[in-house]
Amino acid sequence: MWKALKYAVALLFVAAVLVVGFASLQPDTFSVVRQTTIQATPEEIYPLLVNFREWARWSPWEKLDPNLQRQFSGPEEGVGAAYAWEGNDDVGAGSMEIREAVPWSRVSIRLKFKRPMEADNTIVFMLTPRDGATDIEWAMTGNQPLVGKIFGLFFNIDRIVGRDFEKGLATLKAEAEKS
């Protein structure tokens, strides 16, 4: 029995070393990007992005927790506008602050997660007018520490977050096209 236990422990050790070794070879940063075309002008879409109170209309995470606690601070919109949330396990806890707001073309946001895991990422929305419509790109980038790299070996971050971005863009499209 001791011999089998020794082999099991050795096997687990080798597996752990392989996972950590392979994870350490992964990129130090990550990026998730999705885009769509909305039949509305940038002037109609931009206010839905630059004012966090408007996110309740289209954000894919806003409806996951009916008891979501929200706190807004700073200006109502634009640079310095901030939003903090605390929710169930589906939405976690964190905060966002608008760092750059170029009217009708770009919004850059610092996104800090506290839960389920700590992270400090950047979100950028790019709006490009095209023939009476607008191409919109939603990107999130961030550093990927070793724990994130290990997580990424087992869960496809691009697919998980990307799916939420796609839902959000579809709802944003519906909201903007109502105008």
Q: Is 169 within a domain? A: yes
Q: Is 91 within a domain? A: yes
Handedness of CA 34, 151, 108, 98 (dihedral sign): positive
Say how many residues make up the chain.
179
Could you give the number of structural domains in the chain? Answer: 1
* pLDDT at residue 14, rounded to an integer: 72
* pLDDT at residue 28, rounded to an integer: 79
- Segments of the chain scoring below 70 in pLDDT: 17-20, 22-25, 146, 179
In the chain, how long is the greatest CA-to-CA distance?
Answer: 74
With beta carbons less than 8 A apart as the criterion, state whether 70 and 81 touch: no
Question: For the domain that residue 152 is a member of, what is the CATH number?
Answer: 3.30.530.20
* pLDDT at residue 156, rounded to an integer: 78
Q: Is 15 within a domain? A: no
Q: Is 121 within a domain? A: yes
Q: Is 18 within a domain? A: no
Q: Is 58 within a domain? A: yes
* Residues 56, 63: Cα–Cα separation, whole Å: 8
pTM of the model: 0.85
**Domain membership of residue 86 as a residue range:** 29-178
